[in-house]
Amino acid sequence: MTRSIGYARCSTTHQDTAAQVTDLKTAGCQEVFAEKVSSRAPLEKRPQLRRCLETLLEGDELVVSKLDRLGRSQVEVINRLSDLQTKGIHVRTLDGLINTRGLGKLAPLVIGLLTGLAEVERSLIQERSRESVEHRRRTGGNLGGRPKTAEKKERLVMRLREEGESYRSIRDQTGLSLATVQRIIKDYATPVAA
């Protein structure tokens, strides 16, 4: 016998899953897993979603209020839909967006189309990221990483070292990390090739 199993999630302490749970039970769910967790939390930090997914068997139906309850991004949601489809598990949303059981033989086609769109989206995101980095390189923008140590502080490090101070003493006096102090001293000691 196939089962309908629900999953409810809300992300803030001001929200409550009670309304979702009630709606899921009204929609025929025999069991509902619910949790309060950020929409950005990975699957490892969503214990109730993990339990819910582990409970589902072939032929069962996973019911959620909206598709965004299943993942952090469009790509993750579509990948999860694809995984569930592969395992023979149906998915239905209460907002009427998707019902793979209702789609019948078209369900794999629709999931495949969504998966293809997710791949396009992933590719576009990667391309935009590369273009952004290239633009920042060309225009001298910030590429991220740690900011460069101020030249004045580097000179202070070198003066203290020349006065015979230890690395740890320099660290304590400048507030820089030991690794940064060591790097500055090494960089100044290495002659610049002409």
Active site residues per annotation: 11
- As a whole number of angstroms, the distance between CA 157 and CA 187 comes to 12
Residues 6+ apart with CB under 8 A from 136: 142, 143
Q: Around Cβ 82, how many Cβ atoms within 10 Å?
A: 16
Contacts 24+ apart (CB under 8 A), 53-59: 55/5, 55/31, 56/5, 56/84, 56/87, 56/89, 57/3, 57/89, 58/87, 58/88, 58/89, 59/2, 59/88, 59/89, 59/90
Q: Around Cβ 103, how many Cβ atoms within 10 Å?
A: 15
Residues 6+ apart with CB under 8 A from 126: none
